[in-house]
Amino acid sequence: MRQELQDRNDYLRLIYDTAKEHNPVSPVSIWFGLSRYGKLKNGKVEIDETESGGYILGEQLGLDRDQVAAIVKYFHERGYLDATLGMKKFRITNEGQDYIEGL
């Protein structure tokens, strides 16, 4: 249980830090997709390795897709992450920012 808590907090911290890199003034405005970002090029969707999706960030912490999905759901249910219908995209909320800054 303690490792699970650590994994959740580490993941939320990474989301926050990554969002803050992209927008230091308003990290809560940065949305993440759960999978890799794809861009249309020459009629095909190509993976853009310069962007980090939620699963890719989880991989950096040694988390698999199921663990990442569970963490996103956990923090969404507590109001620390906002998510679109179907949890395809998410972003940290002001409450999530306060939580992670308080750790």
> What confidence score (pLDDT) does residue 50 get?
46
Q: Please name the amino acid found at residue 83.
A: A
Q: Which domains does the chain have, with CATH numbers?
A: 2-98 (1.10.10)
Helices (H), 23-83: 54-60, 65-77
> What confidence score (pLDDT) does residue 4 get?
94
> What confidence score (pLDDT) does residue 78 get?
96
Q: Tens place of pLDDT for every residue, the chain, 103 residues?
A: 899 999 999 999 999 999 898 889 998 988 888 765 545 556 655 555 545 678 888 989 999 989 999 999 999 999 999 988 777 788 999 999 999 999 8
> What confidence score (pLDDT) does residue 45 get?
53
- pTM value > 0.75: yes
> What confidence score (pLDDT) does residue 86 get?
75
Half-sphere exposure in the Cβ direction for 17 (13 Å, CA): 7
The Cα 16–Cα 10 span in angstroms is 10
> What confidence score (pLDDT) does residue 102 get?
93
Q: Report the candidate in 80, 82, 84, 83 with the shortest Cα–Cα distance to residue 99.
A: 80
With contact defined as beta carbons under 8 Å apart, do 55 and 35 qualify? yes
